[in-house]
Structure 1
């Protein structure tokens, strides 16, 4: 059995629970985290006992998104390395959409950027009152890796969120926009997700698998997968070239730390 260092994996009552477990970093999704998520998903998908998968986060948050500090230290450059990074990010996100078994995100605290995209890729999202969603990437000169949001809400709302870098969407607004199914009091998000999963587990798994495939196809036949790949290619071009905003953000982060870089970013939008 694989030992995980960035997540916890557990199977109970036909449900696999993947708990992102880097609470000291708000469960930021670095290379190791993404590799381990894929390993956990491989295990859950091939385990005949597992009929549903729940993903959640340890500590104060679901996840702050892809790990900028790791990127800061690695200083990736060039088309090949960025293709490797972004393909890994994209393919991990889409594991939850493509998974033959139902996937449920149980969210509390921050659920931003790449982590928000994982929640969007899940079949169902349960959110605690404390949950905060958003896509802040453009605010610091990055692109969107998995452009699922326009498929989950209407175009005008998706454009406002992405093009202004909204990163503080509360759960009530998230329900209105259509990317959260249920809101529960803080501390009850995982229990509610497991309750939903247990209901699914009673149903014939072959029926669930086939019906999920049919629902997904209703999006994919309209070109969703082609559109997502096109958006990924645009993000690859953005990151390979390196926008002036991203370079400035990273320079502040290297000199003064990530917290100060985020303050620097936010000061640009005051007023």
Structure 2
């Protein structure tokens, strides 16, 4: 598995080695923010590895030292769209990618380093297993700039009260806390991510592919019998409306993005919320 691939024009890179496919979001200079190119390339990569019977385990990761800071809000088509109907189309593509990963017919492992936020966190929640470094940070900060979660998976993984706190505060939390909450399987030293993910994949891949596929299908159906897919779709419809809500705070955030850059806007946003709880 390669977690520190060189920067290229490819939004997503795929490598296959000894029955393990590694799909890497390849925008390290943008903290692997998810844009239209990533969505399209990731969807194609998932189709390829799902059809390849030589692949038994799929690893999802980010190039460089971060998994993903979420959707590319500085260049978001949702922000630029004129109405909720257009926003709904863009958000539907984002949600469809997450659910394609969720339903992939092979076990998936998220290899998480650094920031894992918003849409990046949704991507990780859609994976079957998660290995994170000690410095990894998770969170759903969308509410802080007038947005909301696109794919509402967290309540099915975590429960009502804690999900509410994460969504309403926008606070991030470290890997050890994610481990305590059951959102990751293992926390490893920063320099041991690749070897730890490989060791986990090596434990999975000896199982025949049909057995892996039907075992995963049973697990997915257990969650979906709880209404997971209906919940995701219902939230998607609300998310399109939420993203087009007009607020003074949202307008100021994006004014700062345009005038001073995303970094300045994020500092302004987080200063409004003070210290973490």
**TM range, normalised to the smaller chain?**
over 0.9
Mapped contact 2:77–2:87 kept (Cα < 8 A): no
Aligned to 1:104: 109
Aligned to 1:60: 65
Aligned to 1:77: 82
Aligned to 1:213: 217
State how far apart, in whole Å, the 1-side matches of 2:177 and 2:79 are: 36
Aligned to 1:142: 147
Mapped contact 1:13–1:198 kept (Cα < 8 A): no
Q: Secondary structure at the match of 1:241?
A: coil
The alpha-carbon distance between structure 1 residues 24 and 164, as it changes in their structure 2 partners (threshold 3 A), is same
When normalised by structure 1's length, the TM-score is 0.94
Aligned to 1:170: 174
- 1:203 is aligned, of 207, 213, 218, to 207
When normalised by structure 2's length, the TM-score is 0.92
- 1:114 is aligned, of 111, 115, 119, to 119
Two-structure CA RMSD over aligned residues (Å): 1.7
Uncovered stretches (5+) of structure 2, i.e. residues with no partner: 1-7
Q: How much does 1:101 deviate?
A: 0.6
Aligned to 1:51: 56
Matched, 1:235 2:239: yes
Matched, 1:183 2:163: no
Aligned to 1:266: 270
Mapped contact 1:72–1:254 kept (Cα < 8 A): no
- Equivalences, count: 268
Q: Secondary structure at the match of 2:110?
A: strand
